[in-house]
Chains A and B, each alone.
Chain A
Amino acid sequence: MLLSETTSSLFFGFVPWIVFFPAIGLLINLIFGGWMKEKAIGWLASAASGLAFVVSVLLGYSLLKQPEGMVVPFADWITIGPSTGSGLALHIPWQFRVDTLSVTMMLVVSGVGTLIHIYAIGYMHEDVRFKDDLKRYRRFFVFFNLFIVMMMILVSGDSYLMLFVGWEGVGLCSFLLIGFWYEMDTLGRPSWANSDAAKKAFVTNRIGDFGFLIAAFLMFWGFGSLKFEDVFSQAPALAQAAPGLIIAITLFMLLGVTGKSAQLPLYVWLPDAMVGPTPVSALIHAATMVTAGVYLIARSAALYVTVPTAQFIVAIVGAATALFAATIAVGQYDIKKVLAYSTISQLGFMVAAVGMGAFVAGMFHLVTHAFFKALLFLSAGSVILGLERGHHHLAYRQNSAEAAPTPPKDKHASPSYYSEEVFDPGDMRNMGGLRKTMPVTFWLYVIGMLALAGIFPFAGFWSKDEILLDAAKNYTVVYVLLSIATFFTAFYMGRQIWMVFFGKPRHAAAEHAEESPKIITVPLMVLAGLSILGGALNLPYVHTFGLWLEHTIEAAAEHGGEVSGWLAISWGGLNPWVALLSTVLALAAIYFSWLIYGRRPLEAGQKDPLKKPLGFLFTGMERKWFVDEIYWAAFVDRYVDLARFLANVIDGRFWHDWFHDRLLAGTYNWLSHIALDKVIDTRGIDAFFNGLGELTKRASASLRRLQNGFVRSYALAVLFGVVVILGYLIWK
């Protein structure tokens, strides 16, 4: 059945399997995982994701032959109203859209996803080792496969509603996986901190999803359809007739994007999301899910190009986020938090790019970023594992003859086991000198760092440079913001490298850190290779990726206005001056970071050397510009106040006390007590029957006097009676 629609020998008909392979994987793990070994669970999930990758590759191959792609219908979902003719109708089938844009996303999601699955087999093994809970391990892979399912639905959907199904699905998986260790905090102590972070992510995304939904409603109102081709074909006409509507749609959609892709002002959930396991951070919160917003804008290119106002706003939001988050990343100490803010910043680059109409550059950066940010996150996970091993080694070194005690079954029973000493393996202040103990991770990290910083010839250089060039051509302000962000990017990555890998260990655990096993390092090496070579996707003069996407995004070809002067110089699409400037900025930033953090390495317990010269500026960076506090004071507390008011006054006093107790119950009580009981029952019904009894009593009391016991009086009565009867008979 899945093959019936395709007549050619191409593989478009296989497309539902990108959803069903991971779905089958998760079902097997869900149902039979209890009887399976640890390794089998992990490899099954990886294989499910890997098969989805194989299908994606086949689809990519088919697209080479038939680049316009295909829409593969699968099932009817919603059918309301007449399917043909006039009249408003909602007809949304579940169709798979195979084109160059969606297949690009599929390849990234399933490709990077599979590598991270394999990595997670090794990473989550530590969880099993220390916490002895195989159910948790199975649950992790079930969620992970579910995420792939949802992400595939998102990228393969043929309408905004199908996209929204995946959009919500990945949000759910994000929530489940951020709160994966829901009963503890990042240090393993019993706490609700992790589950609070999950809730924060979910609620913040809900605000964005509200924007998405409003956009979808407006779209249905304006276009009468939610299908991509219907919307895009009508977009130019409607942009003439009602430009305000298109602006509203695109801006509400931008709200959705700021939620999912962690842009200003809704980015606050992503740093907190780092409490989840590191593979989750890499897969969901760096490589794939958070790029869904970028994908959404690129997909809606036909809408955005009709309204330059909205495009400008998107670009500004992206650029502002890129710089804002980059400054915060400079002041963070948690190795994953730095990467989280870096992700927000890089997403800002992508959003700015697609906002400017540079859809190819944005998607290109999305792909390369998926490679090097996944690499960085997973390497950071490797560092954390190494430190944990070192710490564990220390904790039981004294009596090494004795094996480590078996963990208690019930983890709530003895929390002290898990917090033998409060030690944060993610704090960069506890690291240092890991270059020697973890050499493989070190080199992988350096590759990721150079790619992120945009150093020639790593992948990040090519994609970031395209974005910067487009910014320079379109909006100077965006170009300036992004260039400063480039400087900060290189600076915080340099700072991280010096702090983590150079100098002397600042904690005994770092001293005894051990290199991670092959299962962890091999996927990293693949990602490192992609980070180095990823730029080859869209080299100047060749523009493979641009030509590839042109089949889907027509607007991609014609963007970029007339420019003159130094901007007009083009080495096959590469402007040497822009490239030179960004490279110089990055190199300068790395040099500065060496001056500050590399030349004189941080000592244990020493404050950040930037703290003194920058003063309150550094405090601001360190405390994330107090955005969380401001949000808390401005929205969360106000919301709690409102909730309390509604609960106490409206619900408690009005509905409960007054309406229910006083009005309903009171009236009923009055009615039953006073009206029915006292009046109708007591004075009416009771009185009638009591009166009847009383009457009988009184009548009998007076009648009993006749029964006086005197025989003669009875005789007289008899006589009287006889006389009466006789009299009656006589005078009848």
Chain B
Amino acid sequence: MKLTVKKPDILDVLSKVQGLAGRRTNLAITTNVLIRAEGSEIILTATDLETGFEGAYPAQVAREGAVAINAKKLFEIIREFPTDEISLNEIENQWIEIGNGNVEYHIMGMNPEEFPASPKVEEVAFIDVDSTALGRMIDQTVIVAGGGDDRRAHITGVLMEMLSDASGPIFRMVSTDGSRLTTVNHELPQGFVVPEGPGVIVPKKGLSEVGRFLENTGSVGIGFKSNNFIVKKANETIIVRLLEGEFPQYSDIIKKSENSVPVVLEKGLFLKTLRRMSILSSDNYKGVIFKFEPGLLEVRANNPELGESKENLPVEYNGETMEIAFNPRYFMETLTVVEGEKIRLNLVDADKPCLIEGENSQTFLCIIMPMRI
């Protein structure tokens, strides 16, 4: 293999595959990036055996072939490289020269034949989705992450499903950690035929990787085929293997209770209050108490190990006075991803989930379970 490539063409993608290549797997070669020279392209592949990435970039190919190089070292070399033109040349068996005549590296690669094959993705029915919108959906859902040792599919993965609601066909992502649940809807074009069957569960880790590759403009194709979730751009494809498992029935949870009372608050102020109140939370004492009164929210933290704090915040509320304990982190994380200046909480009582939405947003919904005092 011998080719010349321009630094700006591959630097960004090499940075983005570091997450995949950096994850421990039971195959040593996945710390490598597979490089293939074909036609007038350099094709880069990286995988953590659950999520695979492949991208093609322009290159001047002098001799076709394939090599596998440690992804981290290759990235560092390219990042620090002084000139735009970089040549990669396999001098002999897996002995690779990277240089421009002045700067010169020789790197031992691994056998490219050992690199795990990417699943074949042919005849996929892709749906075009706005790239920014998909990125936002991913940000809004993967933030709801369970503990590291929880291996249940509905905690480690996000449910993706297509359904028809009042406004028409929608693509929905649902994420939960067992104590809270977020749903994000994306409208599909009118007339889109919603496929039969249940949704699928896509690992949050893989979804975060997908998020890295999404641009701020244009659209991407998403599709599902033989247990894979596929995201396709013009020159890049990411394939995430689906998780096996059942997602719990959540439709009752997101239904707004008839008894619920709304509270409207200023998002920015609320977030700052919560940050202040969570200073006094510790591993043992995570909860803060929200006391809702007409026109006022009092938030207080009481930690026998540290002390206590209290703050009042003006809110739009005219229900009865009630006290509910919550983990403030859940609210803070939700507030960072909900859109708009104001948010609305829908409360029932101290034992029932609290429903949060942007005041004018129809697409995002978060349900947070209180803490029992």
Partners in one complex: no
